[in-house]
A = this chain, B = another copy of it.
Amino acid sequence: MSLRAVKPQHETRTRILDVAEELFMLHGFEGTSMRLLTSRASVNLAAVNYHFGSKDALIEALFRRRLDPMNASRLEALERLEAEADGQPLAPEAIIRAFIQPGLKLMEDARGGGRNFIRLLGRTYTEPAKPIRALIGQLYAPTMARYKAALERALPQMPVEELVWRMHFMFGTLSYTLAATDAVQLIAGCKPEDRYDARLLEERLAAFLSAGLTAPHAHTVRKAA
């Protein structure tokens, strides 16, 4: 894998990966056939098995290609924040922004490609307990642990279990927002041109999430409905 990854031209490989991102996003893993995929990518049917070994291995390669840099940039942003803060606890909103920016950037910049992946990623969180989920969890684990520690330091008064749930909520909001931007029409009334404006979306998300994250604890609100 690493040997071949160093080679000069991966034209076929990358073309397969790019098309796979789009088709998996549109039709799911099981709903996308190798025949459709390879014909859209203008490569031979056998190319996927030759270059990746199997369909499942293609899926894994697809996630690694995007997730590794994305998590790296998340960690980098957090470490930059901590270096700047010089020992002081961070503002929760700053941590949130550091976390959501890489995803938003991927959604915005890549001419389709990044956006496809981001939406595919959101879909996959809620998918079967298949090995894919395990892979994603494993790729995410170090990043999540670092952000959890940072938030614990930023919100020392919050019980850890409450914090974990709120991180879960945040993660849900983010992944759903990125995955189901079409579904805004469920509610209707959203300007389509704002849909992929990453900066505007970051402002909206940061406001919503930091308010939710720093809300008074559930226990102190009331006991019964």
Contacts and interface: CB of A to CB of B under 8 A. Distances in A.
Q: Is the interface of A mostly helix, strand, loop or mixed?
A: helix
A185 interface: yes
A156 to B, nearest CB: 16
B168 A184 contact: yes
A215 B209 CA distance: 9
Interface size class of A (residues with CB under 8 A): 35 or more
A218 B206 contact: yes
Q: Indicate the member of A125, A168, A218 with the most B CB atoms within 10 Å.
A: A168
A109 interface: no
Interface string A203-224: 1111111111111111101100
B148 A164 contact: no
Interface string A167-185: 1110111111101101111
Interface of A: 26-28, 30-31, 97, 101, 122-123, 125-129, 133, 137, 140-141, 144-145, 148, 160-162, 164-169, 171-177, 179-180, 182-191, 194, 199-200, 202-219, 221-222, 225
